[in-house]
Every structure is written in C-alpha cells, then in structure tokens.
C-alpha cells in the first residue's frame, strides 16, 4: 500500500500548493493552503492510465492522497518557517523544478494547434511514406535445436552436427518434423509444440537463423544451421508476403507520426530562434 501511495503522490502533487476561491468546494485546508475538489478531480482526470487503473480498483486511495496532501502542506509550511527556502541548496532545487515547469508551459504554448491536421495532410503524408506502413513479409517455421556447449571441443561439435544431419536424413525420408522436434529438440521453449516458432519477421531471430529460414520455401527443410545456440534444422510451414496497409488501416498511426514530426519541426525552429536571442555554448571538451 505504501509503495502504491508513493507512486501516486509522485504524480499527484507535482503541482504548487494553491489558494481556493470563495465559492469553490474545498476538500482540505492547511493554513493558507486549500485543496479544492475541482483541482483534485482535474488532476485525477489527467492521470496516466496505470494510475487510473490503481484508483479504479482501490478508490480508498483518494482519501489517502488527500491526507498526504495535508502532510506535504504541513511540512512545506514548517520548512518556510525554518527559512529552508532560503537555503542555497534548496533554492537551487526549487529553481531547477521551476525551470522545468516553465519550459514545459512554454513548450505547450509553442506547440498549441500543431496537432490539428486535416485529411488532406494525412493522405499526403501516407503517400509520401508508404513504405513505413507496410506489413512486412513473415514466415511460420518449426525448428529442431541440437545444442553445442560453449567452448565445445571439436569432438562435441562433430557429435552435434552428426546428430543434426541424421535427423535431417530421417526428415527427408518422410518422418514427421513435429514429432521429431518433440523427441529430440533441445529448445525447451518450443519442443513441446513440435518446434513451432509461430510467425516472425526479419530482425526477430539471430542473423544465421533468419537468413536460412527466409531462403526456404514452404515445406523445405534446411541443412544444419550453426548459431551461437547450436545446430538448427528449420522447416518453413507458411509464408505471408509483404502487404501494403491501406490508409484507413493506419490513419491513426499516420496522424500520430505527422503530429510528432510537426511538433519536432516547430520545436527545432523555436530553439534555433532562442539560441540567437540567448547566448548559448556547450563546452564539449569539458565533458
């Protein structure tokens, strides 16, 4: 419970202590500080999904959050009375947090409206970047792994290769790949399902395995393929060729990418202008 509450508080009270208006419903007050229901609910509304899920399952945590706000307020007032806000180290931390809040506020101002894109812009971005919205070629394969120990002796290497070659010979004579995988494969993650790896695309397997697998046609069985794990026999069961996704299928992804690109462009433009206004230098030789 304490750990969950700490996570919630780190999110919920990264805001300044505020003063309520006369007509606002107040949930708690400490000295000059007031926590209004409107402010509290607004903060909950903007919570990340994982925090909303926690609160949905444990609504009693809302009460705990208000109590923690009271504790933070009390400690804050005590710190001011002790003039800790004048301590150079504390002031430096306050300045750093203030700088981050101001930077975020200015960034939101600069980027306001950038996320508004029309259908024409979306379609133009899609057409220009069609290759990014393809479903890549995927294959479904099985494998049998004969492990080779690290730092294996030449004799151990030959023994593993011979076993793989013998199994391949049996497969080429018509024995069932799945049954031999269940009996002889040394990959604990796939042997019980007959060596079935499911569908995978390029970049998901080690290079040697990938090159061999993607060179096979459905039904073909590879020669022994050496990887860092040992020797593999690979059989391709099914091939799904690359497919271009339609605009409607990826419209939301297109929107996200376009908005992100426009935001980055706007940010870099602003930063370039600000660097002209405020002298800036990075001493890379001192890093």
Which pLDDT tens digit goes with each residue over 221-236?
Answer: 999 999 999 999 999 9
Contacts of residue 83, defined as CB under 8 A and 6 or more positions apart, other chains included, come to none
d(CA 158, CA 163): 9
For residue 21, what are the CA distances in angstroms to 3, 15, 36, 109? 33, 17, 9, 26
What integer pLDDT is reported at residue 21 of this predicted model? 55
What integer pLDDT is reported at residue 156 of this predicted model? 94
Name the nearest CA neighbour of 235 among 175, 188, 183: 175
d(CA 74, CA 35): 13
d(CA 103, CA 80): 25
Please write the tens of the pLDDT for every residue from 51-81: 888 888 887 888 888 898 899 999 999 999 9
What integer pLDDT is reported at residue 276 of this predicted model? 92
pTM of the model: 0.56
Is the pLDDT score of 14 beyond 80?
Answer: no
d(CA 90, CA 160): 65
User: In terms of DSSP H, where are the helices of the chain?
Assistant: 2-12, 37-45, 49-57, 61-81, 88-111, 119-128, 154-172, 177-184, 207-214, 247-277
Is the pLDDT score of 2 beyond 70?
Answer: no
User: In terms of DSSP H, where are the helices of 82-189?
Assistant: 88-111, 119-128, 154-172, 177-184
Please write the tens of the pLDDT for every residue from 247-287: 999 999 999 999 999 999 999 999 999 999 999 998 999 98
| CATH value of 137-241 in 3.10.50.40, 3.90.1150.10, 3.90.1720.10, 3.90.550.10 | 3.10.50.40
CA 75, chain centre distance (Å): 36
d(CA 208, CA 212): 6
Contacts of residue 113, defined as CB under 8 A and 6 or more positions apart, other chains included, come to none
């Amino acid at each position: 419970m304490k750990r969950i509450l700490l996570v919630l508080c780190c999110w919920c009270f990264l805001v300044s202590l505020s003063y309520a208006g006369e007509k606002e419903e107040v949930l708690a007050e400490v000295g000059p500080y007031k926590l209004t229901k409107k402010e509290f609910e607004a903060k909950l509304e903007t919570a990340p999904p994982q925090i909303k899920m926690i609160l949905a399952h444990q609504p009693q945590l809302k009460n705990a959050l208000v109590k923690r706000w009271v504790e933070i307020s009390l400690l804050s007032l005590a710190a001011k009375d002790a003039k800790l806000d004048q301590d150079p180290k504390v002031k430096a931390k306050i300045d750093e947090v203030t700088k981050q809040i101001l930077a975020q506020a200015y960034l939101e101002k600069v980027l306001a409206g950038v996320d508004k894109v029309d259908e024409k812009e979306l379609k133009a971005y899609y057409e220009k970047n069609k290759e990014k919205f393809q479903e890549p070629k995927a294959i479904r394969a099985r494998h049998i792994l004969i492990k080779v120990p690290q730092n294996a002796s030449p004799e151990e290497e030959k023994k593993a290769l011979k076993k793989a070659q013998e199994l391949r010979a049996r497969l080429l004579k018509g024995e069932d790949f799945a049954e031999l995988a269940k009996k002889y494969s040394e990959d604990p993650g796939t042997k019980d399902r007959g060596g079935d790896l499911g569908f995978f695309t390029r970049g998901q397997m080690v290079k040697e395995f990938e090159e061999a697998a993607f060179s096979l046609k459905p039904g073909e069985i590879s020669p022994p393929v050496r990887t860092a794990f040992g020797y593999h026999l690979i059989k391709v069961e099914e091939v799904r060729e690359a497919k271009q996704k339609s605009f409607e299928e990826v419209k939301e992804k297109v929107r996200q990418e376009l908005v992100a690109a426009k935001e980055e462009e706007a940010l870099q433009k602003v930063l370039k202008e600000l660097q002209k206004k405020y002298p800036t230098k990075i001493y890379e030789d001192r890093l």
